[in-house]
Structure 1
Amino acid sequence: MFTAFKQVFDRLSFSRQFMLAIIAVLTVGMLIIGTWIGHLIERNAVNRTAAISAVYLESMSAAQLTDWSRAGTVDSETHEDLDRIFIDGPLHREVLRFKLWDTSGRIVYSNDHAQIGHIFPVQGRLAAAFAGTVQAQISDLKETDNLPELVNWNQLLEIYVPIRSADSKVYAVAEFYLSVDKLKRDILAAQQRSWGLVALSTLAVYLLLYGLVRRANNTINAQQLDLRNQLRQLHSVLNENDRMREQLHEAGVSTTSLNEEFLLRIAADLHDGPAQTIAFALMRFDEFAATCHGCVSSQGEAPHELDSIQNALQSSLRDVRKISSGLAIPGMAEMTLADTARRAVRDFERLSGQTIKAEIDDTLGKAPLAIKITVYRLLQESLTNCRRHAPGGSPQVQVKKIDGQVLLTITDHGAGFDPQAAAVGGRLGLAFMRERVRLLGGVFEIDSAPGRGTSIRARLPLSTDEMIHV
């Protein structure tokens, strides 16, 4: 039951939850305040009636009991006077029962003569009256001394009034009973008015809170609507950014592949163009040199000049072939990523004559061509920089797979440099490496300082799907 109610409550809007909670709190508060005020009204009405009746009856009874405080008994004359007041007089309609108690708990007079002489313990409200305070309450007549009254009535207003001597000492207590019918009607009318006032006050507070909460709820709803609109616009912008980023990565992958194809074309053009032309020139030059080998100028310098031209042509041919071989990476499409990294290290070792300490993860299998090209060029450029700027630095290479990405680390123990100064100075090799990695959505880092070597780290995704989210 409670769980079902909680589920229904949780589905309501915040403003409705608040208003239901306020209704519950105000209702409980109204019941508590109304009940408390009702008890106060009843108590005050009883006390007021008791006070008025006590003053009136005390003045009447005290006049009849002037001599009793000295004698200690009610004589026949006093008895008759009391009968005239409470039995034959007009008070018998208001005072339904009257008793006079002495300090021993004996009823020395009652308008029900059968009760005269009965003794009861002095306790409760009777004891409090002998202590000097007026006592009053609506009684259900359950006490033992009220059994005769219980025969005729269900409830009566029971009042105890202390009677004092001239020296203010309480020597007797007058107990009388009044009808509660009129008093209850007055109390009920006052309680109804108080409940009405409490209900109106509660309703006014509720309406005030309802107005405030409704206005706040309207403001919150308007803000939520505005936020939802802004969120939709933001999602639209983010989706557009994702599309643009995806296009950028696709462009990066395409650019890397196209650049490699461009380099292959340049390599082929160099090999088939200038290299062949220079080779043909050398062949013809050899024929010309053989024909003119015996020719000597007046200064005797012809053979020397011919040797210089031949050496220059051979050097140019070697350079063109070297450049052509460096631009092209034949067979890369069929290689795994690990084989590509090993190929880059072997090519550098063959050209430089150095031995490289390399740790290459064999689990690096197939990868997009753009990734393999970038790994090869990063290793090629980094190792070339190590040989150029740290010839005795003993470079180390580490290529491993971490969380679906390939991590390249190239370290040397050379002189090192300031990366910020190198960036300002325009080192194209570092700039090209950084740009290659960035185009594929990777991360490129340089850790170096003068005197402590250099470490280059690059992290690249292993698939084009991951490139979009890197």
Structure 2
Amino acid sequence: MAMLEMLINAQESERLRLSRQMHDGPAQALSNFIVQAEIASRFFEMDPEKAKEELTNLKTSAMATFQRVRLFITELRPMMLDDLGLVPTLQRHVETFKDQQPNFEVALAVKGGEKRLPTYVEVMIFRAVQELLTNVARFNLDNPAKVQVNIQLNIEDNLVRLAVTDTGKGFDPAQMPEGTDISVKLIRERVEMLGGYLEVDSSIGKGSRITFQIPLDTSASDMQA
């Protein structure tokens, strides 16, 4: 019952976060577009150059909002994951993360990435990386030093291993920071549901390392389950 409550609370927290982002981002931007369009229409006959300037500003704002909406869509479910698979999607996410978090240097190393995994496994691994990177960023925002994050993904015939290591502030595994504790518990639950296990290795001032492995059902024929 406690796990079910934790899952529901985590889902509701994520929905609340996304709704706030949509309200403060695209929704507010659309409201601004209407104002900019009205201003441009008023200047259209009186001052064509001013109208042109307003339309240029409107186009710039619309393009920026379009990129933000694409990021929201990726957070919900990246289409690349279905079209191209796990590795290209992780590569894109890492590049996006580095663009948004310049104080973090992220390296992704993959072995066996040419093999497609069952969809539910790819989704689970992508979400785990997504959440772990978010945790590293949240916990080290005030860290004056550049934080190095290494993501290692090994895909073998019968199992998948993932390790996310960072040089951040670190923490006591028995008392994980707020937010990180829930994320790690949820990831652990998903991993264990797939027959795997997760380990946390961290200490204050020495960064952290979170690893897990998942067995693969080599007899499974439906790769899109």
Tell me if TM exceeds 0.5: yes
Is 1:350 the counterpart of 2:99? The answer is yes
Partner secondary structure for residue 79 of structure 2: coil
How far apart are the structure 1 equivalents of 2:194 and 2:149?
25
**Deviations, residues 8-37 of structure 1 (Å, cap 9, x unaligned):** xxxxxxxxxxxxxxxxxxxxxxxxxxxxxx
How far apart are the structure 2 equivalents of 1:384 and 1:324?
17
Is 1:323 the counterpart of 2:93? The answer is no
Which residue in 2 is equivalent to 1:377?
127
Work out which structure has the larger RCO, using CA pairs closer than 8 Å and 6 or more positions apart in sequence.
2
How far apart are the structure 2 equivalents of 1:455 and 1:414?
10
CA shift, 1:389, in A, is 1.9
User: Residues 274 and 320 of structure 1 are in contact (CA less than 8 Å); yes or no, is this contact kept in structure 2?
Assistant: no
CA shift, 1:431, in A, is 2.4
How far apart are the structure 1 equivalents of 2:96 and 2:165?
18
Partner secondary structure for residue 147 of structure 2: coil
Which residue in 1 is equivalent to 2:174?
420
- Alignment length (residue pairs): 181
CA shift, 1:422, in A, is 1.9
AA matched with 1:352: Q
How far apart are the structure 1 equivalents of 2:83 and 2:110?
18
How far apart are the structure 2 equivalents of 1:283 and 1:338?
37
Which residue in 2 is equivalent to 1:455?
209
| Higher normalized helix content (fraction of residues) | 1
Structure 1 alignment gaps of length 5 or more: 1-258, 294-312
Partner secondary structure for residue 338 of structure 1: helix
User: Residues 406 and 462 of structure 1 are in contact (CA less than 8 Å); yes or no, is this contact kept in structure 2?
Assistant: yes
Is 1:437 the counterpart of 2:191? The answer is yes
CA pair 422-404 structure 1, distance change in 2 beyond 3 A: same
Report 1:277-426 matches (<5 A).
278-288=28-38, 321=69, 322-353=71-102, 354-390=104-140, 391=143, 392-402=146-156, 404-422=158-176
Report 1:10-49 matches (<5 A).
none
User: Residues 344 and 379 of structure 1 are in contact (CA less than 8 Å); yes or no, is this contact kept in structure 2?
Assistant: no
AA matched with 1:414: G
Partner secondary structure for residue 209 of structure 2: strand
User: Residues 338 and 362 of structure 1 are in contact (CA less than 8 Å); yes or no, is this contact kept in structure 2?
Assistant: no
User: Residues 136 and 166 of structure 2 are in contact (CA less than 8 Å); yes or no, is this contact kept in structure 1?
Assistant: yes
CA shift, 1:370, in A, is 0.8
How far apart are the structure 2 equivalents of 1:425 and 1:397?
20
Report 1:72-221 matches (<5 A).
none
TM-score normalised by length of structure 1: 0.33
CA shift, 1:342, in A, is 2.7
How far apart are the structure 2 equivalents of 1:461 and 1:344?
24
RMSD: 4.1
How far apart are the structure 2 equivalents of 1:335 and 1:318?
22
CA pair 418-403 structure 1, distance change in 2 beyond 3 A: farther
AA matched with 2:124: T
AA matched with 1:394: Q
Which residue in 1 is equivalent to 2:47?
none
User: Residues 337 and 364 of structure 1 are in contact (CA less than 8 Å); yes or no, is this contact kept in structure 2?
Assistant: no
Partner secondary structure for residue 154 of structure 2: strand
AA matched with 2:214: L
CA shift, 1:318, in A, is 8.1
- Larger of the two Rg values belongs to structure: 1
Partner secondary structure for residue 395 of structure 1: strand
**Deviations, residues 254-304 of structure 1 (Å, cap 9, x unaligned):** xxxxx9xxx9xxx9xx98x997754442222224556899xxxxxxxxxxx
Partner secondary structure for residue 427 of structure 1: helix
TM-score normalised by length of structure 2: 0.62
Task: State the identity %.
Answer: 25
CA shift, 1:328, in A, is 2.7
